[in-house]
Structure 1
Amino acid sequence: MSFHEGVLGTQVCLSLGGRRVERNRETFQNGLTFSSRPVRVQEKIHLRVELCDQHWNGALRLGFTSIPPCSCGPLFPPAMAIPDLTTTYGYWASPVPSSLNMPGAELRFWVTHQGMLMYEAPNRVRYQLLKGVDVRSPLWAIIDVYGQTRAVLLLGSKKKRWNTRRSCSVPPPPSVSLCNFCLGLVIIMFFVVSVYLSYPVERDLVEDCAVCLSLRASVVLPCGHRCLCHCCAGRVTAEFGICPLCRLSIR
């Protein structure tokens, strides 16, 4: 990224391939510059303040515009971003505190998907300068070299990207022989379980007869419960006809 060579304030000049802009020290204004291309949402523009003149008030102004700079006519740009541009829709700019714009200070600014103009100070603290930027159209960056700020170097820009690289390799697909082995093992297990379930199971085994509670339970009922002695089994079958545990018919 570089500054727009065709649209400059009347008191600034470019150098270092369009990456450095310097304003005439005899004035505090007419230092408007723009990015050479549209800036993407969340793309952080990285600047470094090169020169300052402390006898002027105010400092750098940053912002964005949805109006292509090269389409604004021969009298463009005006002397200042604020208020000359910001009174017209399509221009958004905000001043940066003078205390954060000393020579050598590096700063970043960008616009969010919610239309907020964000600023990151040299101490990495982030500020919201303004909101309401229309992100539906292409946006060009506004850098107004104003007041105390006399020279700025454009260090580049960076847009956050998600890392999609895998942390480990993908395991190879299982071989045909392994699949056949697993299938055979499943079939064998199914057969064993089926045979096991085909035999009657004595469930809920009871040590003593559930009726007299004195003799050992030795009779296995059709439902599978062993809960009656020989003496009580005939009586329960004749009089009740149901298992005393599960109430199923035993006749």
Structure 2
Amino acid sequence: MAKESSNPTTYFHQKTFGQNIRLDHNALRATRNTSFDHGITFTNKQIKINERIHMKIVDIDESGQWLGSLAIGFVQTNPDNIQSRDLCKSAMPNICQKTVVSYVKRIFDKLTRNTVITFYYNQEGAFYMLDGNEQDICKNIDFKSPMWGVIDLYGNVKSAILVGPLNTIADSRAFFIKYNQQPDKLPLQYFTKVNPANLQPVTFHEVHGPELDLYCQNAVVFRKNVRKLSRPYIFLDFPMKPGDEFYIRILSLDFNYRKPGVIGFTTAQLPDILNHFERLPADDPMALCDRPEFWVINEDAFDETLNELDEFHFSYEKNGDISMSHNNGSKSPTKTIACGDPSRPFHPFFFLNGRIMSFSLIGPISVTKVRPTAPGPKEDDGLCQLCSDAPANCVMIPCGHLFFCSDCRTDFEVKFKKHCPICRLDYTDVIEIQSD
């Protein structure tokens, strides 16, 4: 998960800014009210070497009438010494009508609301972070001279707010401590009319991208905090047939990414795919459409309105359409995200290259019996598998399995050391969670 800190230390400069800019939220938020230009802003203080500026995009012009986009970087003149009337319409090529040394880059990537962009400078140059990747603003800068941050709200970016550093869940321990209970067993908040007794067990397939981890007996997927993603695919062990449906819950989001992520469906034989996992496209899932099997890839099913604990419902209609509902229609109407041949089953999968960092399978409602293939013994209504009395409340890390209660843990480890009885792997830690 990623949330901004409640105590940002950098504000917008309150004296010098473009004529179309308005500041509010105690100078943490800047908004360009009219036109597409005259949106140059500065930081209120000098930025030190390696000090990060974190900026979240608040509003985007979606009319398509303005070309160009946000520009960010640094200037080597104190904004106190610049008159607002001397500012140019755009930060590029010149910040000011007078001689001012600046290092600025325009970001032409399509930007979305709530995206957080971080930028900074060091001895190697000035850089920004977007979609988890470090990109150049400018090389060969005079890093020994004083620097102030520049944000030019130009073109389609209308408003931005300065925030503190993102608090990102970087490992499984922090993830489980956050929820303090088994995340795959959280009660439904939006699809409250669904009878939990009708939900069948379903799991993610054990073969998945190297940056992904599975927990809670393969019902929860978590993307690790890594610098580069390579094949972040995760397949449901669930061949959908017309009349089938399933539910998922978003658990963690990382707003360093612009797009939420990709969902897809395929009629390919799942064993054939997973046995040759290395043949899947590493960076662009759209390349799957060039394969001989039938693939449907949707990069726009999810949008920037995502929040943690949001729920999604997917339904395979009799005519071959697959529809998606977000929070039971409270945020957006049900929409069709894929169309297929209703005579063939579809395997759902996700490509977690975006804002969605973790989610859980709530379960399917299927016209046929679902037979999950997760290995090892299963929980018996959440009870400890040793005493069959107390709830199993000890999550083994890193595998994420639950098998025993806190009272039985000591006896188990005396006899069997730290060896998970479900997946047969050694565990390094145990986190006790509250029972439902």
Asked if these proteins are the same fold (TM beyond 0.5), I'd say yes
C-alpha contact (below 8 Å) 2:86/2:96 kept by paired residues: no
The aligned counterpart of 1:41 is 49
Q: Percent identity?
A: 24
Q: Which structure: greater helix fraction?
A: 1
The aligned counterpart of 1:222 is none
1:23 to 25, 32, 36: 32
Query: 1:33 offset after TM fit, Å?
Result: 0.3
Query: 1:135 offset after TM fit, Å?
Result: 1.2
Q: In structure 2, list runs of 5 or more residues that go unmatched.
A: 1-9, 167-436
Q: Distance in 2 between matches of 1:34 and 1:152?
A: 12
C-alpha contact (below 8 Å) 1:60/1:96 kept by paired residues: yes
The aligned counterpart of 1:229 is none
Q: Does 1:91 align with 2:102?
A: yes
1:8 to 13, 17, 37: 17
Deviations 1:162-217 (A, max 9, x none): xxxxxxxxxxxxxxxxxxxxxxxxxxxxxxxxxxxxxxxxxxxxxxxxxxxxxxxx
Report the RMSD for the aligned CA atoms in angstroms. Answer: 1.9
Count residues in correspondence.
154
Q: In structure 1, list runs of 5 or more residues that go unmatched.
A: 159-251
Q: Distance in 2 between matches of 1:73 and 1:146?
A: 19
Query: 1:85 offset after TM fit, Å?
Result: 2.3
Query: 1:76 offset after TM fit, Å?
Result: 2.7
Q: Distance in 2 between matches of 1:23 and 1:74?
A: 15
Q: Distance in 2 between matches of 1:5 and 1:102?
A: 26
Q: Does 1:142 align with 2:150?
A: yes
**Higher Rg of the two aligned structures:** 1
Q: Distance in 2 between matches of 1:44 and 1:86?
A: 24
Q: Which structure: greater strand fraction?
A: 2
1:156 to 157, 164, 176: 164
Matches within 5 A, 1:167-182: none
Give the 4+ runs in structure 1 shifted more than 6 A. none
The aligned counterpart of 1:126 is 134
Q: TM-score, normalising length from structure 2?
A: 0.34
Query: 1:89 offset after TM fit, Å?
Result: 5.1
Q: Distance in 1 between matches of 2:100 and 2:136?
A: 20
Q: Does 1:81 align with 2:76?
A: no
Q: Distance in 2 between matches of 1:76 and 1:29?
A: 14
The aligned counterpart of 2:169 is none
Cα pair distance change 1:156/1:60, threshold 3 Å: same
C-alpha contact (below 8 Å) 1:7/1:76 kept by paired residues: no
Q: Distance in 1 between matches of 2:89 and 2:103?
A: 16
Q: TM-score, normalising length from structure 1?
A: 0.58
